[in-house]
Structure 1
């Protein structure tokens, strides 16, 4: 289930953005400040190395704390098998809290390695009798969580060509205790690889693939990075098809963004009370199949406006608002190899807003290293 980044010194900002295609919020993989041998650092007398970033992109993010909230909206669930009821109700609260941290574990002109850790929790509060529906009540009591670790590798080849690779492991579901956290059922893995070209300090692009849950279910699909700065104000940052963003640099300490993102999530839900679905006609040995575990696939599209503002040399604020369209919130049977859909749920579209604080390398440190933000 997600990479928008500004890398300090325009270093790997754009490419590492790609590494976030599965994260529900824009993730950043900040390397340390660019060295004089990096092409983003300006003219040098030594050998230059390309990178996926372009001038004008925002600052890198080392530690991110984000809170997102939606107002009340309707939800309708339709059973896809015999023996389970339909239901319609209201969601009084839907909120997400995420904490992410990224560390440049290795930073050389020809090789960058960034390690990331994150924790996210999505909470629901359903209106009144809606809690009586097993799926709703189970989610409200436990929430949906994701604990993840990932490694991103940026490998500049020469002054034009570069590679980006990322591997991410997650534990996604409604677990509450550390004992539950270790269950293999919750494990999810995703990966991506991009090969790119740095045409100028203002233009970098690449092609490759992503393997993950951006569209709810595990799938392999092509990916295109396109980062371009047109002038001192305007630019575009894209990881298609997952995200396209138009950027406007108001000043060195203020940036506006507009665009869309596609976010996918995949959770394991352990039911408190067993659901009993009826077996197909003619099945022997009883009439029902007990369901104790469901696989929940959530896919949403967000149309967003975002503003990032420097508060201090090391601390920035991100404020975002927009409209969320929910494409799917479906539950699948984990007991069958074909993952048969059990419940088809739809959220009504709703506005959303979020606030984010993130820590960046201080300006004085970057300027001392000869790096342009």
Structure 2
């Protein structure tokens, strides 16, 4: 998640990646959602507005598509190494007509090309070491060459221990190199209150209360950080600029397993904006509002080890 710099944003990817790797080697508590091998996600966030000094307010909708796949490089009783290429595209769909000082914003070709390389080492039956790495290039690829967009990367190391059948605790540290070097702590806490309810916490990414309606149906009441950063040309200039935002999604999600191989997850709630920067000279007016997501996923294939 990014506040003053992009560093915290990459914790989000780091923690999500770590979670995916962990479940492949059997950490995780009973009742938690399955791992996601292939992910396809669409997010719709309407009602955002901005203005320039002396102009009318303009309204737009954020539309985002995300795809990721995990490729196992090593998978045995003691270690798993996964490679996770992923791709994101975002469009600002304008709903207003009339004078628009930055009409070219609607033509932004906002893309993120990223690669994760993560591993988990099993120390014993109840503890693991998790190592993650993430690199990406993110920006307006319609107007910038690949070489013009800087590379950002993040490295992290965490220790996860299962205290009991109903409690897991993890902690670690991450380092991000983008605009500057950022070092931050990582905290993971999973706890089952009963056979069909629990708490899942991955700070600073997410806090979620889980209710298992059945072995295939889960409802979450959650708060989750969402951050995006894109490099682009500044308004009326070829100088490199940054478009970025930080949001907190507050709402409810529903996860439904479709057999043993696939699933769907739906989210609806309120997207509370924390920080918003569109382009130099643009003043955000309405930055919070409804957000909805639909996600289709394929569960990891079963690995059969030779005897």
Q: TM-score range by the shorter chain?
A: 0.7 to 0.9
Match of 2:157 in 1: 193
In structure 1, C-alpha distance between the alignment counterparts of 2:15 and 2:259, rounded to whole Å: 23
Taking the TM superposition and a 5 Å limit, the aligned residue runs for 1:103-182 are 103-126=71-94, 127-129=96-98, 131-133=100-102, 137-176=103-142, 180-181=145-146
Number of paired residues? 297
In structure 1, C-alpha distance between the alignment counterparts of 2:189 and 2:248, rounded to whole Å: 20
In structure 1, C-alpha distance between the alignment counterparts of 2:40 and 2:31, rounded to whole Å: 23
| Cα distance change, pair 326–239 in 1 and its aligned pair in 2 (3 A) | same
Match of 1:97 in 2: 65
| Cα distance change, pair 263–218 in 1 and its aligned pair in 2 (3 A) | farther
Kindly report the root-mean-square deviation, in angstroms, between the aligned alpha carbons of the 2 structures. Answer: 3.2
| Cα distance change, pair 25–211 in 1 and its aligned pair in 2 (3 A) | closer
In structure 2, C-alpha distance between the alignment counterparts of 1:131 and 1:75, rounded to whole Å: 10
Q: Deviations over 1:232-264 (max 9, x none)?
A: 101111111221111111111111111111122
Match of 1:357 among 275, 296, 301: 296
The answer on whether the counterparts of 1:148 and 1:170 sit within 8 Å (CA) in structure 2 is: yes
The answer on whether the counterparts of 2:12 and 2:204 sit within 8 Å (CA) in structure 1 is: no
Match of 1:21 in 2: 11
In structure 2, C-alpha distance between the alignment counterparts of 1:217 and 1:32, rounded to whole Å: 32
1:74, distance to aligned residue in structure 2 (A): 2.2
Match of 1:310 in 2: 257
In structure 2, C-alpha distance between the alignment counterparts of 1:25 and 1:210, rounded to whole Å: 10
In structure 1, C-alpha distance between the alignment counterparts of 2:34 and 2:114, rounded to whole Å: 23
1:97, distance to aligned residue in structure 2 (A): 0.5
1:224, distance to aligned residue in structure 2 (A): 0.5
In structure 1, C-alpha distance between the alignment counterparts of 2:135 and 2:151, rounded to whole Å: 7
The answer on whether the counterparts of 1:30 and 1:61 sit within 8 Å (CA) in structure 2 is: no
In the superposition, the TM-score normalised over structure 2's length comes to 0.84
In structure 1, C-alpha distance between the alignment counterparts of 2:120 and 2:136, rounded to whole Å: 21
| Cα distance change, pair 101–221 in 1 and its aligned pair in 2 (3 A) | same
In the superposition, the TM-score normalised over structure 1's length comes to 0.70
In structure 1, C-alpha distance between the alignment counterparts of 2:189 and 2:289, rounded to whole Å: 29
In structure 2, C-alpha distance between the alignment counterparts of 1:156 and 1:24, rounded to whole Å: 19
The answer on whether the counterparts of 2:246 and 2:274 sit within 8 Å (CA) in structure 1 is: yes
The answer on whether the counterparts of 2:50 and 2:286 sit within 8 Å (CA) in structure 1 is: yes
| Cα distance change, pair 87–240 in 1 and its aligned pair in 2 (3 A) | farther
In structure 2, C-alpha distance between the alignment counterparts of 1:20 and 1:236, rounded to whole Å: 23
Match of 2:209 among 246, 252, 257: 246
Question: Unpaired segments of 5 or more residues in structure 2?
Answer: 3-8
Match of 1:75 among 41, 50, 60: 50
In structure 2, C-alpha distance between the alignment counterparts of 1:233 and 1:243, rounded to whole Å: 20
Structure with bigger strand share is 2
Match of 1:267 in 2: 230
1:156, distance to aligned residue in structure 2 (A): 1.9
Larger Rg: 1
Match of 1:61 in 2: 36
